[in-house]
Structure 1
Amino acid sequence: MLNENQKHWGVDQWAAFLSARALPCMPRSKVRLLELEAEFSENLAAHELANLAGADPFLCLHLLREAEAHRTQRLGHETSTPLAAVMQLGTDNFHKLLLNSPETDESNPGLAACEARAHLASRLALRWGMQRADISPDEIAMAALLAEIGELLLWSFAPELPRQALAALASGHSPRSVQAQVDTCGFRFKDLTLKCATIWHLPPLLTQLIRGIDNTRSTLSRLCVDTARHLSTGGAHDPALPSDIADARRIIPGASLEWLTEQLPGLSEEEIAAIVLKAGDLHTPPES
């Protein structure tokens, strides 16, 4: 329950409060780590741990913050991928960090949906990002995974706020999710993410990618987050998906509309064809 003061907090107060909480992890991450250690023992590779972190936004953030603390002491390059974070910390520290973390409540449907959406955005970033030789898919994927961390923290520690936003959206009082957040909470959840990123001193590159403006990499990261939201909330028939695919084609001119759409999970051939047809009407080839 929110206390009387919290009911009047703005984004700065919430960022200060949430950024000081102990970061949890998804319970499945602990289970998977123990399975991997039982299977590979001393031969457990860093990339296996990186894949584990890349599927859990809370764990990924916790790992990144610890790795950046180690990096600052050693004056190395900033950490921008899960694998780099694992390499900074080492497998023993990874084990301790994960097993000592509190666990999230996976029975919370709002948190589960938001976490699944973040994971979907990250997977999409890996798939789409592979089609451009001038960017790192792992960096885009990490930013996409962490872009929803503000909302995830709210679901964990102040679920009343995102519930109010969802109710405003469902009732039709607010036409879009971002507007619902502003109408009910007074701020965008993305702004909360960025405020927390500043407090945590996350690498500037990742903060730029999460912000989603200024360059191709940032735009692609934001597009993956938006597409994941549209697919998760509206399914294959969400009216924004064709526009998402058309935008992706402009960013990734070497990929076809068909291939881009096929990377969206859970779609039938008929649904893919329908999205491609509508995206084709929206897509304007770049001028030569």
Structure 2
Amino acid sequence: MQPYQWQWGINQWVEYLKDKDIPVLPATRAVLAALQEGGEEKRDSLSARDLTDIVYGDPYLALKLLRRAEERRSRQLGHDTTTPLAAVLQTGYDELQEIVAASPARDDLLPGCHTCESRSVLASAIARAWANRRVDVSPDEVSMAALLVEVGELLLWHFAPELTDKETQTRDWNERFWALMQRPSDIEFTFRQLTTALAQAWGLPNLVVMLIKGTDTPRANIARLAADSAKLVTLDLEVPTLLALLREVAKVVPGSLPELAEPLPLPDEFRAALLASIEAAPQAE
């Protein structure tokens, strides 16, 4: 990273990042390599949904497929591609293998990047569960948006790791100790704002951009709240904070607070403490 890049604004980062060749997760490469070794019979037994499950485990692959499908759609004047399943159907198995094989390998990543990757996958699963509970018209669209919400931060981890490592620590400090003097940030935009700006620069479907933005509609709010929940679960798990978030979820998703907490991978002791806090809350009021 060059010294002058510390002074860049969001537009400069978008121009710098939008054409970068991003990797796929090592686990994705391993799974597809195993499928190739399994021979034609193994590949023929795969359904589009099987391939979609692979995509749901890798935010980079999801982005690559979505961009590839949108490029093809713009040439053929087809419908917007807004779900992993639609992206898989647009590209097919052979092209999926080509995309993964052509993706660069990155092994020198900071721990924060791996945390962000796991958080993206978890957010996608939570969003799909909540969207299903709401009987959403397309839970996969909401889940796709939640999977891509962290793309801005992920790309910075790959191409500006020093900046991203410092920035995540600064924001973590400010969020935990908000009453104390805030540490100055080196960037004047949020990671989600960067994700939204990149999605627009890539020409992703307007629906996907709106859902990533995370406001204005119940579906977009589900994607945002799922990402926030995943962050709490992976970084800073506290009962009062999670309880406040679940109450916000309850405004857009039907169900009791314990039911809304079901998709969250909580330790048994923490879940018991959360449920006890939920039961005690009405009495406290």
Q: Please report the TM-score for the alignment, with normalisation by the length of structure 2.
A: 0.89
Q: Spell out, residue by residue over 1:166-223, the C-alpha distance to the aligned partner (whole angstroms, 9 max, x if none).
A: 33245569846xx989722222111111111111001100100010111110011100
Q: Is the alpha carbon distance of 1:74 and 1:33 closer, same or farther for their aligned partners in structure 2, counting shifts above 3 Å?
A: same
Report the equivalent of 2:93: 91
Structure 2 equivalent of residue 137 of structure 1: 139
Q: 1:114 and 1:198 mapped to 2: Cα distance?
A: 21
- Counterpart of 2:262 in structure 1 is 262
Q: Secondary structure at the match of 1:185?
A: coil
Match of 2:56 among 32, 54, 65: 54
| Residues 150-165 of structure 1 mapped to structure 2, 5 A cutoff | 150-165=152-167
AA in 2 matched with 1:162: T
Deviations 1:131-156 (A, max 9, x none): 11233211111100100000000000
- In 1, the alpha carbon distance for the partners of 2:24 and 2:240 equals 34
CA distance in 2, matches of 1:36, 1:260: 36
- Give the counterpart letter for 1:261 in structure 2: A
- Tell me by how many angstroms 1:9 deviates: 0.7
Task: Tell me the equivalent position of 1:125.
Answer: 127
Work out which structure has the larger RCO, using CA pairs closer than 8 Å and 6 or more positions apart in sequence: 2
**In 2, Cα distance between the equivalents of 1:89 and 1:68?**
10
On the 8 A contact 1:147/1:193 being kept in 2, the answer is yes
The percent identity for this pair of structures is: 37
Conserved 8 A contact 1:249-1:260: yes
SS in 2 for 1:167: helix
| Deviations 1:232-264, CA, capped at 9 Å, x for gaps | 1113x25321011112222122x2221221211
Query: Is the counterpart of residue 75 in structure 1 residue 77 in structure 2?
Result: yes
Please tell me whether the aligned partners of residues 214 and 222 of structure 2 are also in contact (alpha carbons under 8 angstroms).
Answer: yes
Quote how far apart the aligned CAs of 1:126 are. Answer: 1.5
Q: Counterpart of 2:192 in 1: which secondary structure?
A: helix
Q: Which residue of 2 aligns with 1:286?
A: none
Residues 158/38 of structure 1: CA separation in 2 closer, same or farther (3 Å cut): same
Q: What is the distance in 2 between the residues matched to 1:180 and 1:217?
A: 33
Q: 1:74 to 1:282 in 2, by over 3 A?
A: farther
Distance 1:170 1:67, change over 3 A: closer
CA change 1:181–1:61 in 2 (3 A) is farther
Partner of 2:223: helix, strand, or coil? helix
Cα 1:257/1:104, change in 2 over 3 Å: same
**Counterpart amino acid of 2:49?**
H
Distance 1:219 1:104, change over 3 A: same
Aligned to 1:32: 31
Instruction: Judge conservation of contact 1:135–1:217 (CA < 8 Å) in 2.
Output: no
What secondary structure, in the 3-state scheme, does the structure 2 residue paired with 1:154 have? helix
SS at match of 1:138: helix
C-alpha separation between the residues in 1 aligned to 2:212 and 2:190?
14
**Contact in 1 for aligned 2:23/2:60 (Cα 8 Å):** yes
* SS state at 1:121 partner: helix
> Is the 8 Å Cα contact of residues 261 and 276 (structure 1) preserved in structure 2?
no
Q: For the residues of structure 2 that align with 1:108 and 1:128, how far apart are their CA atoms?
A: 31
Aligned residue for 2:34, secondary structure, equals helix
After alignment, is 71-80 or 113-122 more displaced?
A: 71-80
Name which of structure 1's ranges 160-169 and 69-78 shifts more when overlaid on structure 2: 160-169
Distance in 1 between residues matched to 2:235 and 2:256, nearest whole Å: 25
- Cα distance in 1 between the residues matched to 2:232 and 2:173: 18
Which residue identity is paired with 2:134?
Answer: R
2:240 partner SS:
coil
Cα 1:205–1:172 shift into 2, 3 Å: closer
- Unpaired runs of at least 5, structure 1: 284-288
The answer as to whether partners of 1:197 and 1:207 remain within 8 angstroms in 2 is: yes
> Does the 8 A contact of 2:6 with 2:163 survive in 1?
no
Aligned to 2:66: 64
Give the C-alpha shift of residue 13 in structure 1. 0.4
Query: 2-side partners of 1:173 and 1:224: how far apart?
Result: 18
